[in-house]
Copies of this chain bind each other. A is one copy, B any other.
């Protein structure tokens, strides 16, 4: 393969790098427009339920890590506890999330999805997975690896901790 994919005009022989400001600007806009697409489908579903993205995020990560504590969720989501609490209160009241006092430490609340919560989670994530599946299929396996590699590099280091604690073990 060429080491210069179809990306750069490179008229000035000076730069071996394919990272012109224009290339970077395209990457920036790609993030902007793609993120909009990425959230569009769940947003529509949430609206029917009177929820917002904040509810989606909470539900997603409770589903991913059942029994997680509020504090843990706080550090993943990066919002204040007051902000999270407002969201959490509504989903608990609405019977989507179960908040159980900790056994070892009774100050902690452990969060679990109820059946209704799990049902909404499936609905939301199926919509989101569907779009991602289509994008992955259309772009191909190599592109998917590249996509993940770049995004991983773009995260703040502290966030990488939360990005799939399980993940591919070593590496």
Q: Which residues of A contact B (CB under 8 A)?
A: 1, 3-7, 9, 13, 17-19, 21, 23-38, 40, 57, 60, 64, 78, 125, 128-129, 131-156, 159-160, 162-164, 167-168
User: Are B131 and A5 in contact, with the CB atoms below 8 A?
Assistant: no
Given A34-B151, A131-B154, do A141 and B5 touch, yes or no (CB 8 Å)? yes
User: Are A147 and B38 in contact, with the CB atoms below 8 A?
Assistant: no
User: Are A163 and B30 in contact, with the CB atoms below 8 A?
Assistant: yes
Q: Which of B9, B136, B156, B164 contacts A40 (CB 8 A)?
A: B156
User: Are A151 and B25 in contact, with the CB atoms below 8 A?
Assistant: no
- Count of this chain's copies in the oligomeric assembly: 2
Q: Which of B57, B135, B159 contacts A150 (CB 8 A)?
A: B135
Interface of A is mostly: helix
User: Are A36 and B156 in contact, with the CB atoms below 8 A?
Assistant: yes
Q: Which of A131, A141, A146 has the most CB of B within 10 A?
A: A141
